[in-house]
Amino acid sequence: LSSCRDRLNASRDITPVTPPNCRLIKGIETGSEDIDILPNGLAFISSGLKYPGIKSLAPDKPGEIFLMDLNEDNPRALELRISRGFDLSSFNPHGISTYIDRDDTVYLFVVNHPHQKSTVELFKFVEDDNSLVHLKTIRHDLLISVNDIVAMGPDSFYATNDHYFSDFALMFLEMFLGLTWSNVVYYSPKEVKEVAAGFYSANGINISPDRKYVYVADILDHNVHVMEKHANWSLSHVKTLQLDTLVDNLSIDPHTGDIWTGCHPNGMKLFLNDPENLPASEVLRIQNILSEEPVVTRVYADDGSVLQGTSVASIYKRKLLIGTVFHRALYCEL
């Protein structure tokens, strides 16, 4: 039990760190689990995740994808319309990733959990009428408990499976026993294969700006793995950066290569969700992860009074978006 408590960082409390100029985003009330920002400053936000064992503030409401234009002086969150022919009633969005094709088409990949299963939904973003056109649903036996994805092409991606089992009781047992059966899968229409394994719970995944390295967060091992990407899409381990927090999603600053991550200082609070002892929030910026001495800075930390259960932090110019598993979202001007 003590190792389970350690993995959840059950005894950790945090000291608040509040950047100036932060405000809660109007209209996002039931989560902003993942955020991906295009080079032109348009930010996609996945909202309304229902995840086994974690509270949902709107259990009966389908999930949504929001859009924010970070070039505006006072950006607002706008719900994107989703084309007909897609089952919105069971939409349960989790990790997201964008891909811009040679012809400037923007594809949005969304991890979806309809009826507690895992699929990846592929959409085309139509900016003129703020809509997403559903292109296809991807299912595969290796995509069992998908958490996050990073797009590699218009129909290929890396995905993390955060558990080996998809059944909630078995998922809990897996964590309790400390099994390292979680993995990373590469998917394309031609080939699907496991490319990295041995994680307690592989969570956020992203890629360096030069497309040479893939970063994987192991939320229960409190670390970020740096993997080298090979021509056949396989990944080999380069190094691991150990942290003292549960690392969730990873975002990359395209200009500096810095990794920004939303973290859970204390995972136990996330599952217990006691109103007297709220799940806290933490944002870390990791600079020069490939060097001997990476620099880790706590940019934001809150005891849950403003923001509960931070899962992601994404940067565009000097603007920072901070998202959560089931709660609000924060916009900061740094």
pLDDT single digits (tens) 90-99 = 999 999 999 9
Q: Is 33 annotated as a binding residue?
A: yes
- Give the β-pairing of 42-47 and 34-37: antiparallel
Active-site hit among 94, 113, 163, 327: 94
DSSP codes, 238-304: EEEEE-SSEEEEEEE-TTT--EEEEEES-HHHHHH-BTTB---EEEEEEE-TTSSS-EEEEEEEE-S
Angle at 247 between CA 179 and CA 148, to 5 degrees: 80
**Average pLDDT over every residue of 252-277:** 94
Q: Supply the pLDDT for residue 190.
A: 97
Number of domains within the chain: 1
DSSP secondary structure code for residue 229 in this structure: E
pLDDT single digits (tens) 139-190 = 999 999 999 999 999 999 999 999 988 777 888 888 888 889 999 999 999 9
Tell me which residue range forms the domain holding 206: 1-333
Q: What's the CA gap between 135 and 262, in Å, rounded?
A: 30
CA 288 centroid distance within chain = 21
Q: Supply the pLDDT for residue 38.
A: 98
Q: Supply the pLDDT for residue 164.
A: 86
Q: Supply the pLDDT for residue 177.
A: 87
What is the CATH number for 243? 2.120.10.30
Q: Is 273 annotated as a binding residue?
A: no
Q: What's the CA gap between 306 and 295, in Å, rounded?
A: 27
Q: Is 69 annotated as a binding residue?
A: no
Q: Supply the pLDDT for residue 3.
A: 84
Q: Is 21 annotated as a binding residue?
A: no
In the chain, % of residues over pLDDT 90: 87
pTM of the predicted model as reported, rounded to 2 decimal places: 0.97
Is 222 a known active-site residue?
no
Q: What's the CA gap between 242 and 290, in Å, rounded?
A: 13
Q: Is 96 annotated as a binding residue?
A: yes
